[in-house]
Copies of this chain bind each other. A is one copy, B any other.
Amino acid sequence: MTDDPYGLYRVVTPEGSMPQAAWRVDNTPVCRGGEILIDVEMLNIDSASFTQIKSVADNDPARVAEEVKKIVDDRGKMHNPVTGSGGMLIGRVKEIGSRIEARGDVQVGDRVATLVSLSLTPLELRQIHHVDMHNAQLDVEAVAVLFESGIYAKMPEDLPDRIALAMFDVCGAPAQTARLVKPGNTVVLLGAGGKSGLTVLAQARKSAGDGKIVAIEYGDAGCERIRKLGFADVVLNLDATKSADVYQAVTDALGGELADVVINCVNVPGTEMSSILCAKDRGTVYFFSMATSFTAAALGAEGVGKDVDLMIGNGYCKDHADHALNLLRDTPALLEVFEQKFAAGAK
């Protein structure tokens, strides 16, 4: 197969599939015309994937490293076969194909983060130096391949790496929130104390103006982060998988009303119904969570006769990385919460 912008020529099995759908891709670290080779420093594993791996590995960092190594050996990419999700990486440009060179937007030596999922990025993983169990970040020696259609961002110089990387990982979320939430909207946010949840919360407040925002999070630490950020009108410490409880608590908090926009940023399965029940008629439910089940959402809404728009969180939208970094720069409280959250796991 000839060079194409999507990297089809790197697919090993099944033939004719796209790299993301492929079981295995060719991770040979040789640069083709439409490719960028990257010397990887750090992998940032998707939260749903990391949670699953940690549980299989009994929370042991050495065994987490083994599991990750095994997945990459099997598939030629860090594509968790159970959750179907990936993550992203940070590294330095090592080599540039001729067609990319002509584009003129990147140079050898640039420090970049890839903004396409690891689930489609060919990766030759040589060594894992350190596993940060708290932040799902691995310091590694590896080479990755970025295709012509693959998006990336240059690392900012005014923000710490770990924070920029964490932000890039979820940068689709605040950008999509900005499109979705209108002034005066009532917003319910599930998993509001996590990485994507906190950025979505900051953006939702910006977009909703004096609209009401209800933040749901399970556990004291997360709720504390939310309160510290200070953008939610109501913080509910609740298990988002318990849909009957969530529905009751949210209707109580909103005086019997429901939300114009519900945003799901939880990293565990089984929260579709809670999200749907919180939306008003003709409202929108936005699922960023990669643990979302398509059928649970579609049939769940039908089963309770809810006429709502159900959206799959697209990780990409135009200028999402810049949007996220600017949100961080413009929102000192968010930067502070992130600094604390990501300092904890630093070496």
A298 in complex: contacting residue of B149, B315, B317, CB < 8 Å: B315
A304 CB-CB contact with B under 8 Å: yes
Q: Does A155 contact B (CB under 8 A)?
A: no
Q: Tell me if A343 is interfacial: C-beta within 8 Å of chain B.
A: no
A309 and B311 in contact, given A298-B290, A300-B21 (Cβ under 8 angstroms): yes
For A117, list chain B residues within 8 Å (CB).
299, 302-303
Size category of the binding interface on chain A = 35 or more
Which of A66-74, A81-89, A123-131 interfaces with chain B?
A: A81-89
Contact A309 B314 (CB under 8 A): yes
Q: A290 — which chain B residues lie within 8 A by C-beta? A: 294-295, 298-299
Please provide the chain A residues from 1 to 45 with a CB less than 8 Å away from any CB of chain B in the complex: 4, 6, 8, 16-21
Residue A347 lies at the interface, judged by CB distance under 8 Å to chain B: no
Asked if A301 lies at the interface with its beta carbon under 8 angstroms from chain B, I say: yes
Q: Is there contact, CB below 8 Å, between B297 and A312?
A: yes
For window 257-282 of A, CB contacts with B under 8 Å fall at 270, 272-273
Chain B residue with minimal CB distance to A314? B301
Known: A21-B270, A273-B20. A316 touches B301 (CB 8 A): yes
* Residue from B149, B150, B273, B307 within 8 A of A314 (CB atoms): B307
Residues from chain B with a CB closer than 8 A to the CB of A297 are 294, 312
A307 close to B317 (CB less than 8 A): yes
CB-CB under 8 A for A299 and B16, given A21-B273, A294-B290 = no
Q: Confirm or deny: A296 has a beta carbon within 8 angstroms of a beta carbon on chain B.
A: yes
Contact B244 A303 (CB under 8 A): no
* Residue contact B243 to A304, C-beta cutoff 8 Å: no
Interface status of A106 (Cβ within 8 A of chain B)? no
Quick check: B299 and A84 within 8 Å, CB to CB?
Answer: yes
In the complex, the answer to whether B270 meets A85 with C-beta atoms within 8 Å is: no
Give the CA-CA distance A115 to B163 in the complex, in Å.
48
Q: Please, what's the 1-or-0 string for A231-244, where 1 marks a CB less than 8 Å from any CB in chain B?
A: 00000000000111
A283 to chain B, nearest CB (A): 12
Residues of B within 8 A of A300 (CB): 18, 20-21
- The distance in angstroms between the C-alpha atoms of A84 and B305, with both chains bound, is 18
Closest to A310 in B: B312
Answer whether residue A119 sits at the interface, using C-beta atoms and an 8 A cutoff: yes
The reply on A56 being an interface residue by CB < 8 A is no
Contact among B120, B293, B294 with A303 in the assembled complex (CB-CB below 8 Å)? B120
A194 within 8 A of B: no
Give the residues in chain B near A119, CB-CB below 8 Å: 295, 299, 303
Q: Is A230 an interface residue (CB 8 A)?
A: no
- Provide the bound-state CA to CA distance between A20 and B276, in Å: 13
Residues of B within 8 A of A315 (CB): 298-299, 301-302
CA distance A172 to B306 in the complex (A): 12
Given A292-B294, A299-B315, A310-B312, 13 new contacts (CB under 8 A): A16-B242, A18-B273, A20-B300, A21-B243, A21-B270, A117-B302, A119-B295, A150-B305, A172-B302, A290-B294, A298-B315, A302-B314, A306-B316
